Chain A
Amino acid sequence: MKHIIAVLLENEPGALSRVVGLFSARGYNIESLTVAPTEDPSLSRMTIETTGSDDVIEQITKHLNRLIEVIKVVDLTEGSYIERELMMVKVRAVGKEREEMKRMADIFRGRIIDVTDKSYTIELTGDQSKNDAFLEAIERTAILETVRTGSSGIGRGERILRV
């Protein structure tokens, strides 16, 4: 099952490689990983999307907590949460396709952020399944390039992860 784990850790060099090293050393999956400093520059916030049985997820959270630089670990999927991913897709847009692509972008509430006479670059934000759906919806051969940030997650309502 998919889990989204949020990690608050010291913003120190090497902290990221400790997390990544832990996943590879113990054979855990990483579907995606995003990390950036928070409003407090001494802290980094990481979102890890992973899959595994409940036992594996329990070990993952325990081992993350064991890392000296990790301050807090929360499995967001244990409660309600919001997940967002930014995707930029460069698509072929020639002739009839131009109107079609514009319409698809509108349907998915995407924005065209770069235009040439042969292509559009579309920006989409949403959970991963929405971005997946967009890629499914457009003509596959029209996709020239895709870049996705991976999921960032935050708890709903009063669920707050901070020091």
Chain B
Amino acid sequence: MEISKKEIAATAGATPDLASQELRGAEILIKALQAENVKYVWGYPGGAVLHIYDAFFKQDSIQHVLVRHEQAAVHAADGYARATGDVGVALVTSGPGVTNAVTGIATAYMDSIPMVIITGQVPTHAIGLDAFQECDTVGITRPIVKHNFLVKDARDMALTLKKAFHIARSGRPGPVVVDIPKDVSFKKVPYAGYPETVTMRSYNPMRKGHGGQIRKALQLLLTAKRPYIYTGGGVLLSNASSELRTLVDMLGYPCTNTLMGLGAYPASDPKFLGMLGMHGTVEANNAMQNCDVLLAVGARFDDRVIGNPKHFAQNERKIIHIDIDPSSISKRVKVDIPIVGDVKEVLTEMIAMIKETSTRPDPAALGGWWETIEGWRKRDCLKYKPGSGEIIKPQYVVETLWNMTKDVETYITSDVGQHQMWAAQYYRFDEPRRWINSGGLGTMGVGIPYAMGIKLAKPDAEVYCITGEGSVQMCIQELSTCLQYNTPIKIVSLNNRYLGMVRQWQEVEYEGRYSHSYMDALPDFVKLAEAYGHVGMLIERSEDVEPALREARKLKDRTVFMDFRTDQTENVFPMVQAGKGITEMLLGSEDL
């Protein structure tokens, strides 16, 4: 399908008369993105999206970022969404564009990130005929999206996008795919403006929690002897961090965050017991097992969090669970008081009710509980043997970075593996949305694209990608994008020449048979960074860690790749082995 010169001239010279305006599908798409206040789109062009790219060319309110691989387009938009709370938008072409994007979409889905992914499709008349670069996008993405659409008629474009953004950001957020055939993006249809509102009889997510349930929950919570507050990513998604802080401070109860929830409650507060779960602290996991009333907020009792469910059920406790998604409640663990609703709204109501009532927690019981917790805390489970000389401890790198940046606006992204756990354990997040990682799907390769997406949104903040030499190579091509769009990020690579977490499991569970977890023939990362036009640093001695980080920080306008040669055999502790209870922790190499 060709655009005639006459038509181009007609489009260029058209006067914006709203009532009788005729626009191409692609132009309506742009109008929709503008109306949704989209500032950035990460994408990669191809045949099926050429009309859309042409429409992008003719506007300048939305910046398009050309990535080097579609997976990274989705990750970057996802990172942007995690850091800002806005809907992240990615644009890819049909066929391989879509299949490359699938990992990114699934990553966002597992962590409930609001996104709209626009995908090109072959023309409607070619669908189903095994056309060039055709794939069943709606079919392939169906299990990994909150919802998806195929726009068959350009007249449906505006309403479909309105629905897509509405679905992505409301209720339990998630990615929505909008598949647009090439002829639909080209076709001219009357356009009467972008709808202001949308109502769907089949989709009305509940926001307010049930008052009676909240009252019952509060009664239980206020009469608890060993209470515990366990919160997850839902608190961040709902922007309820300040409400959570108010609640915890009013009650004086201990609090833990999941990997996805870090930063919701300040890590530097003594009421924070650290992260819980497979690599959680002794105090956080013991409190989970031994509490008598558990308030779960925007968390889903993931297998990495509660360990063996049978072991978890050995201790009796009452569970209150606040979640916007009813299907998260009583999925893995039976809940006594479910509250379906938006975390922010429910916590606000809870706080108001506490102010009204005169019931206060029993100070003696609470004091005793805190004494028990302090006993666990004394174990100081995150203590590690310091390195020196050629032994660089990975934990030390993270801790040094935290010490240096804790007082400025800093975002930390990670990939997946040992470095991710060390970042979660040793970088103490005090603010929400500063810790950006793939918790649910556990996608290696997200670190650089996440950092790149965040840096565009937060140009004045410091953005670090804590990664490993394994993960970083999964999306390392994006160093090129970082240069083109001037998004200077700092890569902190904890390079132990092993796929560290795999190596650790092989040491613990497979008697040290290190099957294919050693990476020989690694590239020279310094030269690689330089080849991409960035700064590379090799750090081989413990005393060089701090000066290197200082130097990198000073290079504000440059992307810096720091290759830290870390202790090859260091393991992440505490560790709960698969199938064990969360209090059955390995605390150090002496437990192996």
Question: Residues on A close to B: CB < 8 A?
Answer: 9-10, 13-14, 17-18, 21, 25, 55, 58-59, 62-63, 65-66, 68-71, 163
Contacts and interface: CB of A to CB of B under 8 A. Distances in A.
B139 A25 contact: no
Given A14-B138, A17-B142, A21-B142, A66 B201 contact: no
Nearest to A63: B327
Given A18-B142, A58-B330, A68-B202, 6 more contacts: A21-B142, A25-B143, A63-B327, A66-B326, A68-B147, A68-B203
B325 interface: yes
Contacts of B203: 68
B202 A66 contact: no
Nearest to B147: A68
Nearest to B172: A66
A55 B147 contact: no
Contacts of A71: 201-202
The 7 A-B pairs with the shortest beta carbon distances in the complex, nearest first, are A62-B327, A68-B147, A71-B202, A62-B326, A68-B203, A25-B143, A63-B327
A127 B39 CA distance: 58
A49 B238 CA distance: 37
B472 to A, nearest CB: 32
A10 B202 contact: yes
Given A58-B330, A66-B327, A68-B167, A21 B201 contact: no
A66 B325 contact: yes
Nearest to A13: B150
A65 B201 contact: no
Interface string B316-348: 000000000111011100000000000000000
B146 interface: yes
A62 B138 CA distance: 23
Q: Do most interface residues of chain A lie in helix, strand or loop, or is the interface mixed? A: helix
Nearest to A60: B327
Contact of A17 (B139, B147, B331): B139
A70 B200 CA distance: 11
Contact of A9 (B138, B202, B327): B202
Contacts of A14: 138, 142, 150
Contacts of A69: 202
5 contacts: A14-B142, A21-B142, A70-B202, A71-B201, A71-B202
Interface in B194-240: 200-203
Contact of A55 (B139, B327, B330): B330
Contacts of B201: 71, 163
B158 to A, nearest CB: 18
Nearest to A9: B202
A87 B200 CA distance: 37
A133 B140 CA distance: 42
Given A18-B142, A163-B201, A65 B326 contact: yes
B146 A59 contact: no
Contacts of B200: 68
Between A13, A21, A58, A66, the greatest number of chain B beta carbons within 10 A of the residue's beta carbon is seen for A66
A107 B325 CA distance: 50
Contacts of B138: 14
Nearest to B202: A71
Contacts of A58: 330
A17 B147 CA distance: 12
Interface string B473-509: 0000000000000000000000000000000000000
Nearest to B148: A14
A70 B204 CA distance: 11
B198 to A, nearest CB: 12
B499 to A, nearest CB: 29
Contacts of A163: 201
A19 to B, nearest CB: 11
A76 to B, nearest CB: 20
A68 B143 contact: no
Contacts of B327: 59, 62-63, 65-66
A59 B331 contact: yes
Interface in B140-154: 142-143, 146-147, 150
Contacts of B150: 13-14
B144 to A, nearest CB: 10
A62 B328 CA distance: 9
A21 B148 CA distance: 14
A21 B147 contact: no
A10 B200 CA distance: 10
Interface in B147-206: 147, 150, 167, 200-203
Nearest to B325: A66
A17 B200 CA distance: 20
Contacts of A25: 143
A68 B146 contact: yes
Nearest to A42: B201
Contacts of A68: 146-147, 167, 200, 202-203
Contacts of A62: 326-327, 329
B328 to A, nearest CB: 9
A47 B227 CA distance: 44
Interface string B290-333: 00000000000000000000000000000000000111011100
Nearest to B144: A25
Contacts of B326: 62, 65-66
